[in-house]
């Protein structure tokens, strides 16, 4: 299984930081060809844009857009909400 393993340095207000996160959601499954293409795109020594959290500049990613695993959250969310509703119902009903 292919993994996106890219290390980079960036500077915020004169301070240098290091990160190896490609995107916000960690995706360690499938899409080996896509991951290999991403790693090949970021060649050693190249300049790229990274996005950092202004409240915590040590928190950064190279890609902040859509991820193929995001739709799975839409599947899990209703299941979670149904379970949460059941728990709330039990406490409110007192049984």
Cα-based distances in Å from 86 to 73, 79, 80, 92: 20, 11, 10, 10
| pLDDT tens column, 65-77 | 665 655 666 778 8
Q: Domain boundaries in the chain?
A: 1-64, 69-95
Q: How high does pLDDT run on average in the chain?
A: 80
Q: Which tens digit of pLDDT belongs to each residue from 25-46? A: 665 555 677 777 877 888 888 8
Q: What is the pTM of this model?
A: 0.58
Q: Pick 91 or 14 by higher pLDDT.
A: 14
């Amino acid at each position: 299984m292919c993994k996106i393993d890219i290390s980079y340095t960036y500077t915020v207000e004169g301070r240098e930081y290091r990160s190896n996160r490609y995107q916000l959601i960690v995706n360690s499954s499938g899409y080996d060809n896509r991951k290999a293409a991403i790693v090949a795109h970021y060649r050693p020594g190249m300049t790229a844009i990274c996005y950092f959290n202004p409240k915590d500049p040590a928190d950064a990613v190279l890609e902040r857009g859509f991820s193929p695993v995001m739709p799975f959250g839409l599947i899990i969310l209703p299941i979670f909400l149904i379970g949460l509703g059941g728990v709330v119902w039990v406490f409110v009903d007192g049984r």
